[in-house]
């Protein structure tokens, strides 16, 4: 077998130098000539000769140094590491390499095998070769072939080559994933590209929380002429949707909220009467749910009834009962009526509840459509999101853009908790996987120290999904432009990372901590990544790499405005401003 038949070329023009020193996950290479060092850049791949001519350790270049006649210090990547620095005095240019995998041209009866991780430490004085473009394409083809074709998810291409960057679709969702990048780095169309591939599967089940309405362009509601939609469109009902109901309007009835969610919406914890208000609310809701079961001859459910059971009740009946308490009396001395135990203690609570009910922006909570109080309605509601049918798309985009920001975390949390619980209670043999794509996750999944009572409710739900969802076929794809503001617990459960350009040092530090120590130096390239370029690593990819992500056919409506060009050529017309003012007043975009 000649060297030309090998994937890794050992020709003279690929030769870099020899290994000078080794630690647990890095090697220092002495370059043979000044010319060689000029061809190398950070993120290039190299092959270190192994025990046989057919075996190589694959590494990624972290640093290239020109340091003639002086000590070369190898520093631990983690500043808090207890590992000692070590140095070597050299008269050569040097290259620092992180070890990422092992490649065999021949291994037993098999050929061209790549495995993640170094199977052993490289030996000092072994030869090192640059994996150039042709060899890189061949190596990447070997890496891609390790993932069965039926579960391949093509993310993009490696560097300037045409080699496909392939992820294992099963592992990407099984172990949760994080897609992180600054505004304008290409997050939205990376999401769209992933969804386009998922849409080709027969029974895809993905729910995307769209906070700005930018993914509507992927749905049949808004797809461009000549292009095929890939998703169903739903929108949390706004004020204008109450009268003009359509199949895409989504309501989240108040009785679907559990006790904690409802009290987070209504209760002022600083009120001295908050414990009384919570107590009476809990008492009356339980009784109203009990009454519903009795009136509908569903008494077999009463034994398992709790305050959090998703049983319909009338919000107006709840108000009446609370008002009766607030104005109630009881017999005093000489049978003369005096103030009752709850008299005057519920006034503020009732006022807050009435304000929420009267706010038309909350109509999706308190003015559900006819039939939503029927016992069978809840199963139909769950089917809308969880059932996969041949006549509809398995990807559902839910538009939250008209939900008031003060209750947004609660609403997203309620919907997620309900769907997760349905998945939990399905028979194991019938359970099919579902993924939640959490766009703009920093808004409703904040760090513990930044969360208030409202966002903490949603946070608890998503943290439970992150920690336990894999057992029940529930996955998260966390998308955010500010990873430093996203729950550490959730990010720590994301074993796959797609990191686009990040310029903020705090955000870079979060990504740094998510990476294995041996690859932590990759964070140094985050500020200089091009739009749509990313560092990808995790359980789903064999070879951690810097790749160019594929652009989707259907692009989200998230394009950045060209300020200078538009100021030069595009007039701001009065008609569009009148339209906007009327839409603002109606709380709906006019048709």
Share of the chain above pLDDT 70, in %: 92
Q: How many beta carbons lie within 10 A of that of residue 393, not counting itself?
A: 20
Lowest mean pLDDT among 2-6, 119-123, 191-195, 212-216: 2-6
Task: Copy the structure tokens of residue 488.
Answer: 């550490």
Taking residue 565's Cβ as centre, other Cβ atoms within 10 Å add up to 9
Tokens of 550: 């594929």
Q: What is the dihedral of CA 5, 7, 13, 14, to 10 degrees?
A: -150
- Output the average pLDDT for the chain: 86
Instruction: Give me the pLDDT at residue 68, please.
Output: 55
H/E run at residue 197: helix 187-198
Indicate whether 562 pLDDT > 80: no
Reduce the DSSP state of residue 15 to 3 states and report it.
strand
204 in Cβ contact with 475 (< 8 Å)? no
Residue by residue, DSSP assigns 535-582 as EEEETT-SS-EEEEEPPPSS--S-PPP-HHHHHHH----HHHHHHHHH
The CA R_g of the chain, rounded to the nearest whole Å, is 30
pLDDT level of residue 221 (50, 70, 90 thresholds): confident
Question: Is the pLDDT assigned to residue 337 strictly greater than 90?
Answer: no
pLDDT digits (tens, 9 = 90+) for 408-419: 999 999 999 999
pLDDT on residue 224: 75
Among 158-172, 360-374, 475-489, 516-530, the minimum mean pLDDT is found in 516-530
Q: Which helix (H) or strand (E) holds 210?
A: strand 206-210
Identify whether the C-beta of residue 534 lies closer than 8 Å to the C-beta of residue 190: yes
Q: Which are the contacts of 453, defined by CB distance < 8 A and separation ≥ 6?
A: 264, 269
Structure confidence at residue 82 (pLDDT) = 56
| pLDDT value of position 2 | 42
Q: How much is the average pLDDT of 344-363?
A: 92
**Residue of 193, 55, 199 whose CA lies nearest to 129:** 55
Burial class (CB in 10 A: 0-12, 13-18, 19+), 160: exposed
CATH fold for the domain made of 164-252+371-560+570-580: Rossmann fold (3.40.50)
Name the percent of the chain lying above pLDDT 90: 46
> What sign has the CA pseudo-torsion 71, 72, 78, 83?
negative
From 129-143, 202-216, 511-525, the region with the lowest mean pLDDT: 511-525
* pLDDT for residue 95 is more than 80: yes
Q: Name the least confident of 299-303, 520-524, 529-533, 580-584.
A: 520-524
Full 3-state SS string of 95-125: EEEEEEEEEEEEECCEEEEEEECCCCCCCCC
Q: Mean pLDDT across the stretch 343-350?
A: 92
In terms of DSSP bridges, do strands 152-158 and 71-74 run parallel, antiparallel, or are they unpaired? Answer: unpaired
pLDDT of residue 242: 76
Does residue 124 surpass a pLDDT of 70? Answer: yes
Average pLDDT over residues 120-127: 89
For the stretch 294-325, pLDDT in tens is 999 998 988 889 999 999 999 999 999 999 99
Comparing C-alpha atoms, which of 419, 406, 420 is closest to residue 365? 406
Cα–Cα distance for residue pair 9/196, rounded to 1 Å:
37
Q: 3-state SS string over 136-154?
A: HHHHHHHHHHCCCHHHEEE
Indicate the pairing of strand 177-180 with strand 496-499: parallel
Q: Average the pLDDT over 452-475 and give the result.
A: 88
What is the structure's pLDDT at 3? 43
* Mean pLDDT within 383-389: 90
∠209-215-221 over CA atoms, to 5°? 110
> What band does 473 get if pLDDT is binned at 50, 70 and 90?
very high
Q: Is the pLDDT of residue 161 over 80?
A: no
Please report which confidence band the pLDDT of residue 472 belongs to, taking 50, 70 and 90 as the band edges.
very high
38 vs 17, 27, 42, 63, 499, CA distance in Å? 13, 19, 12, 13, 28
pLDDT at 220 over 90: no
Residues 6+ apart with CB under 8 A from 412: 209, 400, 444, 458
DSSP 412: H
* CB distance 356 to 366 below 8 Å: yes
Residue 77 has pLDDT above 60, yes or no: no
Can you read off the two tokens belonging to residue 386? 């969880």
* Closest residue by Cα to residue 416 from 443, 434, 433: 434
Three-state DSSP state, 507: helix
Sign of CA dihedral 170, 174, 175, 181: positive
Average of per-residue pLDDT across 503-529: 84
* Structure tokens that stand for 447 in this block: 């760090």
Confidence of residue 474 (pLDDT cuts 50, 70, 90): very high
Q: For residue 337, give both structure tokens.
A: 């009526």
- Residue 214 gets which letter from DSSP? G
3-class secondary structure, 155: strand
Higher pLDDT residue, 454 or 89?
Answer: 454
Nearest Cα neighbor of 121 from 171, 51, 185, 53 is 51
Two tokens at 173? 């969702």
pLDDT at 1 (0 to 100): 40
Sign of the CA dihedral running 109, 113, 117, 122 = positive
């Amino acid at each position: 077998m000649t060297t030309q038949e090998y994937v890794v070329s050992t020709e003279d023009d690929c030769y870099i130098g020899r290994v000078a020193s080794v630690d647990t996950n890095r090697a220092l290479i002495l370059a043979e000539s000044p010319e060689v060092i000029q061809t190398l850049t950070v993120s290039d791949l190299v092959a270190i000769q192994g025990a046989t001519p057919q075996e190589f350790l694959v590494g990624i270049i972290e640093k290239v140094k020109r340091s003639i006649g002086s000590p070369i210090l190898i520093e631990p990547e983690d500043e808090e590491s207890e590992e000692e620095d070590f140095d070597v005095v050299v008269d050569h240019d040097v290259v620092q390499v992180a070890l990422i995998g092992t490649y065999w041209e021949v291994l037993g009866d098999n050929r061209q095998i790549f495995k993640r991780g170094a199977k052993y430490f490289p030996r000092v004085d072994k030869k090192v070769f640059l994996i150039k473009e042709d060899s890189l394409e061949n190596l990447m083809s070997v890496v891609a072939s390790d993932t069965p074709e039926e579960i391949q998810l093509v993310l993009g291409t490696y560097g300037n080559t045409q080699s496909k960057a392939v992820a294992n679709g099963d592992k990407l969702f099984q172990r949760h994933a994080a897609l992180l990048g600054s505004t304008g780095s290409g997050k939205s169309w990376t999401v769209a590209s992933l969804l386009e591939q998922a849409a080709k599967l027969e029974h895809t089940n993905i729910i995307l929380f769209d906070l700005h309405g930018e993914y509507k362009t992927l749905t049949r509601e808004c797809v461009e002429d000549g292009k095929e939609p890939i998703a169903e469109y739903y929108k949390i009902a706004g004020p204008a949707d109450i009268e003009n109901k359509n199949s895409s309007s989504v309501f989240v009835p108040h009785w679907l909220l559990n006790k904690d969610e409802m009290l987070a919406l209504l209760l002022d914890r600083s009120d001295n009467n908050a414990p009384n208000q919570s107590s009476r609310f809990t008492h009356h809701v339980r009784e109203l749910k009990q009454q519903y079961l009795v009136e509908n001859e569903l008494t077999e459910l009463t034994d398992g009834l709790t305050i959090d059971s998703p049983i319909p009740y009338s919000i107006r009946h709840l108000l009446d009962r609370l008002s009766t308490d607030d104005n109630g009396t009881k017999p005093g001395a000489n049978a003369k009526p005096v103030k009752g135990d709850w008299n005057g203690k519920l006034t503020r609570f009732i006022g807050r509840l009435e304000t929420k009910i009267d706010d038309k922006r909350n109509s999706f909570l308190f003015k559900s459509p006819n039939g939503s109080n029927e016992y069978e309605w809840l199963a139909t509601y769950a089917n809308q999101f969880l059932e996969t049918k041949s006549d509809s798309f398995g990807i559902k985009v839910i538009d939250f853009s008209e939900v008031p920001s003060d209750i947004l975390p609660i609403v997203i949390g309620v919907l997620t908790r309900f769907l997760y619980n349905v998945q939990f209670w399905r028979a194991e043999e019938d359970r099919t996987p579902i993924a939640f794509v959490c766009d703009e996750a920093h808004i409703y999944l904040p760090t513990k120290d930044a969360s208030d009572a409202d966002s903490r409710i949603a946070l608890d739900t998503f943290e439970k999904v992150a920690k336990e969802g894999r057992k029940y076929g529930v996955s998260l794809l966390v998308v955010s432009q500010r990873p430093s503001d996203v729950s550490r617990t959730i990010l720590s459960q994301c074993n796959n990372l797609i990191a686009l350009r990040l310029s903020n040092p705090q955000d870079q530090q979060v990504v740094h901590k998510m990476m294995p120590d041996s690859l932590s130096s990759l964070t140094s390239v985050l500020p200089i990544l091009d739009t749509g370029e990313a560092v990808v690593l995790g359980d789903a990819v064999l070879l951690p790499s810097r790749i160019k992500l594929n652009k989707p056919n259907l692009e989200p409506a998230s394009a950045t405005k060209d300020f200078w060009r538009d100021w030069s050529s595009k007039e701001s017309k009065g008609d569009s401003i009148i339209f906007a003012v009327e839409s603002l007043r109606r709380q709906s975009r006019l048709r």
